[in-house]
Structure 1
Amino acid sequence: MPAPRKYPPELRERALQLWRESDPRPPVAQLARQLNIHPEALRSWIRQDEADRGERSDRPTSQMLEENRRLKREIAELRRVNEVLRAASAYFAAEIGPARRWS
């Protein structure tokens, strides 16, 4: 289970909107101080927003990150299923024994 978010999504959207619409753009630390959020949190939000908008290529988009999370969960589930199948196969192989196996 992921940790609870420190800042509400509305604050994140508002901060990003203020930063994007400001001309000239204020320093991140100054805007963060005005909004009472940690400067690195705002800096991270800005970078992710730029990646999502196609303005940066040095980090994956939110859509790609979510797809990776989904695939990791799916892989973990498939591995659990494979373990159950292996255990069942070993159990039934031992139960049938070499004399009762088909030729």
Structure 2
Amino acid sequence: MARPSKCSAEFRSDAIALWRASAGRRTFKDVAADLNVDPEMLRTWVRDADGRPVVAGASQDTEAEPARLRAENARLAGAEKEWHPEREIPCRAAAYFARETK
């Protein structure tokens, strides 16, 4: 069982609001130093409040990234039988240089 927090819920919500107000300009470490708390504790509070992991410096497009990568993977997997110059040029170059070194 987790140990009860020494900080009140009101303090935590104020700390989260302070970090959100300065997000992008100040780091967790800077805000935590002003509040005399551990930076990882502040990061955990913010992550728990959002219900998702907090990555410092992450853009707002992080939700769209997995969908874009899945679409690109599907395109590349379905393209095995099609001719693609972006795949053939490196293969031809590797074959050329392999012949040249013998």
- The interval holding the TM-score normalised by the smaller chain is 0.3 to 0.5
Bigger helix fraction: 1
* TM-score of the two chains, using structure 2 as the length reference: 0.44
